[in-house]
Amino acid sequence: MDDEYFRKLVEEALEEIPKEFKERIENVTVVVEEWPSRAQLMTLGKRNKTGMILGLYQGIPHIRRRSYGIGGAIPDKITIFRQPILLISGSSQDVKKNVKETVVHEIGHHFGLSDEQIYKALR
């Protein structure tokens, strides 16, 4: 699957987020990268028990935010990793499903949800 089509799937997943959440997302950049960097892997450390990272939220969740103050803040960042998603997906339908679940998962972290809460919501 080429990079352009994969990015389109990420955009579609973002468009499909329910309106009540989409309206509350603020100061977030969503990017696609091929693989996680060493620094991103170290950010997760022992929290990642599967050994495969499909996405990563880096920022301050809504539940811990205060005012941004003067000058604004650097945007939170959601990174979706293309190659790991392709590796675990057996078909283009699997890719689409895994992209959507990963985007929703990382948006969940933006709102301060734990992995357990997100998994419950997705199942």
The string of pLDDT tens digits covering residues 108-121 is: 999 888 888 887 77
Topology at the third CATH level for domain 3-63+76-122:
Zincin-like (3.30.2010)
Instruction: Say yes or no to pLDDT of 67 above 60.
Output: no
User: Given this model, what pLDDT does residue 49 score?
Assistant: 54
Structure token pair of residue 55? 């996405």
Give the model's pLDDT for residue 96: 97
Q: Average pLDDT in the 23-29 region? A: 87
pLDDT at 73: 66
What are the strands of the beta sheet with 55-58, ordered from one edge?
28-33, 76-81, 55-58
Domain boundaries, the chain: 3-63+76-122
**pTM of the predicted model as reported, rounded to 2 decimal places:** 0.85
